Each structure stands twice: as structure tokens, then as C-alpha cells.
Amino acid sequence: MSADQHALLLDRGNLKRRNRFNKAVEVVSTVAAVLAVAVLVIVVGSVFLKGVGALSLHFLTTPTALFGESGGGISNAIVGSAIIVAIASVIAIPIGILIAIYTTEFAPPSIAHPVRFVLDILNGVPTIITGIFVFGLLVEGNHQSGFAASVALAIVMLPIVARTAQEVLTLVPSTLKEAANALGIAPWRSTVRITIPTAAGGLITGSLLAVARVAGETAPIILLSSIVSQGVLTDPGEPLASIPYFIFQSSESPSATAHTEAWAAALVLIAFVLVLNVVARAFYARSRKRMGA
């Protein structure tokens, strides 16, 4: 067929269609990105608009009212959350960083790799399961406590801290470590005095992200620290109030007042979490720049 010879010249019929299809895909991709940002704006916007009205100094400094009464606040939940998350951080951050030090500085690959794998599996364990684990470990035959919630949150934090710390520690330039070795400095000393300070920004990032992640964690708290007495409590041996559980409880209530209080508490929590995320990112950017990565 003679038309074949001219196919390249003549056959421009589908170019239009190809371009149109291309354009359509570009539009779809752009719409998808806009949609994702829009959902963020709608959710955060809802929380802000519905919560800001109920937010006041009174709300932040008054403990939750008795059941059926109004005019309460979330001071007990703020204090409880702070204690639970602080204890969890004290447990998880040092252990997480130690794990990272072990896998990056000491362990041979045949051990470091399985440890990483275990951390990934641990990261994939649903937090409600972590709650069941700590329930069987500390609460069954005993009673709920803020400390039990802390242990569960620490387990949730551990793989996040350890994995980010591993990533950052491997970014530390090996020339620094080699220089220390050449000077005859003991490995532990070069780790503590050189590797860790160089990676500090990234280590802080991982820790802050882990704190931000568990500050809103609700599932383990329902099993471990939900039967709470009145007033501002500070003894981690007893069940403590917390912001996520307050939001959960108020959201399940049919009362409109409870819903307004839930939005206000959600605004406090979301502000805390987002600020922590922004700060963490800033630390990470600075740290990477410092290590020339």
C-alpha cells in the first residue's frame, strides 16, 4: 500500500487525540493534588471554626465538669496528656536512639538488618493491639493507670524514633568518624562526642515527630487510662485524663455542648501537633544542611 510510505507525514490524526488525553491526565493530577490540600483545609478549617468559639482561658484552666453539668474545661486532660506523653518520651527516646546507635555503629549487617526489620514490623502493629498487650502486661489483675498508657505510647514511639535516628546517623560523614579513629579515640567517645552532636538536629526531628504522633493517639488510652476520677490528677499510678480520650468521649455524646467542647479540645490538639511537625521539619532541614546532605 502506497499510503504506508507517507504514514509519518500524513498520519497526524491521533496527535490531537494524544494531546487531548495528555491534557486530561494533567488536569486530573492537578485536581487530585488540589483535592488533598482542600481536604486538609476543610478538616483543619472545621476544627478551627467550630472550636475557636468555645476556646477560652476558662476552658483551658478548668477541669472537666461532672457528667451532665456544663461549663467544664480540659485542664485535667491537658495535664494528664502532658504527663502520659512525657513519661512515654523519657522511655522511648533514649531507647530508640540507643537502638539506632547499635545498628549503625556496632552491629554487623547480619544483626542490624533483622533489627531494622523488627522495628518495621513493630511500626506496623496496630496501636489497639499495643493497647491489648500493655493491658495484659500491666492492667489485668491490677487497675488502669497513666503509666500503662505511657508504656503503650512508648512502644508506638520506639520504631519512629529508632528508624529516623538510624537514617540520620548514617548521614553523619564517615570522614568525621575516621578522623576520630585515627586519633585513637575510643569508639564510645567518638559516638557520644562526635556522631551524636553532629546528628543532633535529625535526632530531635525524629523525637518530635514521634511525640506529635502519640499526642493524638487514642486507641491504647481507651484500654489503659479511661476510667478517670474528677479533678486535675497528676499521679501516673492512677488513670489520667487525656485530650484524645476527651475528644473521643465528647464526640460519642449526643449533646451539642459536648460536641462544641470536643471541637475546642481538637483545636488545642491539632495546633500542638501541627506546630510540632513544623518545628521538627525545621530541625531536619538545618541538620541536613549541616551534614552537607
Binding to other proteins, residues 189-248 (CB under 8 A): 189, 191-192, 212-213, 215-219, 222-223, 226-227, 244, 247-248
Question: By CB under 8 A, which span of 53-61, 82-90, 94-102, 229-237 interacts with other proteins?
Answer: 94-102
Interface with other proteins in residues 57-76 (CB under 8 A): none
Q: Binding of other proteins at residue 16 (CB under 8 A)?
A: no
What does the per-residue mask of binding to other proteins show for 113-152, with x meaning CB under 8 A?
A: --x-xxxxxxxxxxxxxxxxx-xxx--x------------
- One-character DSSP codes across 156-181: HHHHHHHHHHHHHHHHS-HHHHHHHH
Q: Which of 215, 272, 200, 271 is nearest to 246 (CA)?
A: 215
Q: Three-state secondary structure along 194-253? A: HHHHHHHHHHHHHHHHHHHHHHCCCHHHHHHCCCCCCCCCCCCCCCCCCHHHHHHHHHHC
Task: Decide: 162 and 112 in contact? Cβ < 8 Å.
Answer: no
Instruction: Tell me how far, at minimum, the Cβ of 137 lies from other proteins, in Å.
Output: 6
Phi, psi (degrees; rounded to nearest 5) at 22: -60, -45
Q: Binding of other proteins at residue 25 (CB under 8 A)?
A: yes
Question: Contact with other proteins (CB under 8 A): which of 63, 73, 146, 159?
Answer: 159
Q: Binding of other proteins at residue 26 (CB under 8 A)?
A: yes
Instruction: Tell me how far, at minimum, the Cβ of 23 lies from other proteins, in Å.
Output: 9
